[in-house]
């Protein structure tokens, strides 16, 4: 975020673990298993996923091709390791990388069976492995459609969208292998997608750009919610790409994060100013400045019925009409994700105050999603302020920081309430469409 005195609120650096593109056999695809999957070796999960994704496209491809039948991948599926690298793709020699890719020349999919896929499954579950394969199969679908004239970032997010369309089909109970998909499994997969993003500061116009996590998760959710026909219409003119490059060398060198105390001060002043103008638009009533109280874990301010988040580490107090946060825990969130994770938390608290003041609930799934949309509307305002030097605005990586914090705090467990998947969608609605989307 750039702001007064040219301050910047930006993403912490991310490690890009995989680039889901590429070029690749002779191995036949495995048959789909029936029933729910137990803990299977990663290679078996890949085989089951590819077989099920082929089933999906056999049924779905005619809906996006004018009735033309689908031709499954002809070149096979190829696991590889450092000692047994992937096949050559056209004139490009096969070299080991922790990657997964589709080769249009050989019409095959290859993946790293030594590091990438085992690590993704171990850390984020079998569903993420299946989504990686669905993404690669999405590139095979593009090849069959002859879609080659779009920027890389469009092709990558279209493949993400196609993966989401497969996920929706599996969630609907049509998969023989991936049954009973839970919100927790989906949220775990989304957490993995945070690592499958471009390095913050990457330009969407770069040849190898795939998108930030905010955009890639948006594309996946678009496929889940709207299906393959919507995905097939993606092009450079209709995708809401938010990925932008750094514009200043010092931001690129530091990752752009403000010192913690300065970040908190900048955010609080900005979100307060936003609601001073937005609340009257929402309610027709003036905004009363909100008191903010940082506290030590041993001395939280008294509140008879706090509207709390983050396990009680931050809350809005309806009786006293103030917000409060555990300074140590907020600082830890800053260290983990970056300074706009602080923005996500403080923005959430302000949104709760808005809901209480206008007599609306923050409880249950619908209440939480309303809060997330209102929080996103502040971010929408940040995105549309231009580049004037006295304005606080978003910078590369900020949206990914917010998504990371939201997912860490809102991932589904066994309980009730909104899942991380749904919360990201509600937040994104506010980010992309503004306050009017939250009314």
> Residue 19: pLDDT above 70?
no
pLDDT for the residue numbered 212: 79
When pLDDT is averaged across residues 209-214 and rounded to a whole number, the result is 72
| pTM of the complete model | 0.84
Q: pLDDT digits over 342-374, tens only?
A: 999 999 999 999 999 999 999 999 999 999 999
Listed in sequence order, the residues at least 6 apart from 393 whose beta carbon sits closer than 8 Å to its beta carbon are 1, 2, 3, 382, 383, 385, 386, 387
From CA 265, how far away is CA 335, in angstroms rounded? 16
pLDDT for the residue numbered 185: 95
Q: pLDDT digits over 400-418, tens only?
A: 889 989 888 876 554 557 8
pLDDT for the residue numbered 15: 29
Residues 151/205, Cβ–Cβ less than 8 Å: yes
CB atoms within 10 A of CB 312: 12
- Percentage of the chain exceeding pLDDT 90: 66
From CA 405, how far away is CA 416, in angstroms rounded? 20
> Residue 10: pLDDT above 60?
no
pLDDT for the residue numbered 205: 53
> Residue 41: pLDDT above 50?
yes
From CA 7, how far away is CA 259, in angstroms rounded? 10
Q: pLDDT digits over 155-201, tens only?
A: 999 999 999 999 999 999 999 999 999 999 999 999 988 877 555 54
- Report how far apart the first and last C-alpha atoms of the chain are (Å, whole number): 26
From CA 226, how far away is CA 209, in angstroms rounded? 24
Q: pLDDT digits over 241-266, tens only?
A: 765 555 566 666 656 678 899 999 99
Q: pLDDT band for 34, please (50, 70, 90 cuts).
A: very low
> Residue 28: pLDDT above 50?
no
pLDDT for the residue numbered 8: 27
* Helical packing angle, 213-232 and 398-410, nearest 10°: 90
pLDDT for the residue numbered 198: 52
> Residue 206: pLDDT above 60?
no
Q: Are strands 314-317 and 307-309 parallel, antiparallel or unpaired?
A: antiparallel
From CA 429, how far away is CA 193, in angstroms rounded? 19
CB atoms within 10 A of CB 346: 24
When pLDDT is averaged across residues 48-54 and rounded to a whole number, the result is 98
């Amino acid at each position: 975020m750039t702001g007064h005195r040219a301050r910047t609120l930006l993403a912490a650096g991310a490690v890009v673990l995989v680039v889901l593109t590429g070029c690749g056999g002779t191995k036949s695809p495995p048959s789909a298993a029936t029933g729910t999957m137990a803990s299977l070796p990663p290679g078996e999960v890949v085989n089951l996923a590819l077989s099920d994704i082929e089933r999906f496209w056999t049924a779905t491809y005619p809906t996006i091709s004018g009735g033309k039948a689908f031709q499954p991948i002809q070149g096979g599926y190829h696991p590889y390791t450092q000692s047994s690298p992937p096949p050559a793709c056209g004139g490009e020699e096969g070299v080991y990388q922790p990657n997964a890719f589709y080769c249009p020349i050989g019409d095959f999919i290859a993946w790293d069976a030594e590091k990438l896929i085992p690590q993704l499954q171990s850390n984020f579950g079998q569903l993420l492995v299946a989504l990686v394969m669905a993404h690669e199969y999405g590139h095979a679908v593009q090849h069959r459609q002859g879609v080659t004239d779009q920027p890389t970032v469009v092709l990558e997010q279209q493949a993400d969208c196609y993966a989401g369309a497969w996920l929706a089909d599996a969630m609907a109970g049509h998969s023989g292998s991936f049954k009973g998909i839970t919100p927790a499994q989906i949220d775990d997969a989304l957490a993995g997608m945070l690592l499958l993003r471009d390095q913050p500061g990457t330009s969407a116009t770069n040849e190898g750009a795939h998108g930030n996590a905010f955009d890639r998760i948006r594309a996946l959710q678009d496929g889940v919610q709207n299906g393959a026909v919507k995905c097939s219409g993606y092009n450079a003119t209709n995708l809401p790409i938010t990925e932008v490059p750094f514009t200043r060398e010092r931001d690129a060198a530091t990752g752009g994060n403000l010192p913690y105390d300065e970040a908190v001060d900048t955010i609080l002043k900005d979100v307060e100013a936003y609601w001073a103008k937005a609340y009257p638009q929402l309610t027709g009533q003036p905004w009363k400045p909100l008191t903010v109280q940082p506290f030590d874990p041993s001395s939280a301010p008294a509140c008879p019925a706090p509207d709390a988040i983050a396990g009680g580490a931050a809350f809005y107090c309806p009786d006293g009409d103030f917000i409060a946060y555990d300074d140590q825990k907020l600082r830890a969130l800053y260290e983990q994700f970056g300074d706009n994770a602080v923005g996500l938390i403080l923005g959430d608290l302000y949104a709760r105050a808005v809901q209480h003041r206008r007599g609306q609930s923050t409880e249950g799934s619908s209440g939480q999603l309303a809060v997330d949309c209102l929080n996103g509307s502040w971010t929408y305002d940040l995105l549309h302020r231009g580049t004037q030097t006295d304005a606080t605005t978003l910078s590369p990586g900020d949206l990914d920081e917010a998504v990371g914090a939201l997912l860490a705090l809102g991932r589904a467990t066994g309980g009730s309430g909104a899942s991380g998947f749904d919360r990201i969608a509600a937040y994104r609605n506010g980010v992309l469409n503004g306050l009017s989307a939250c009314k």
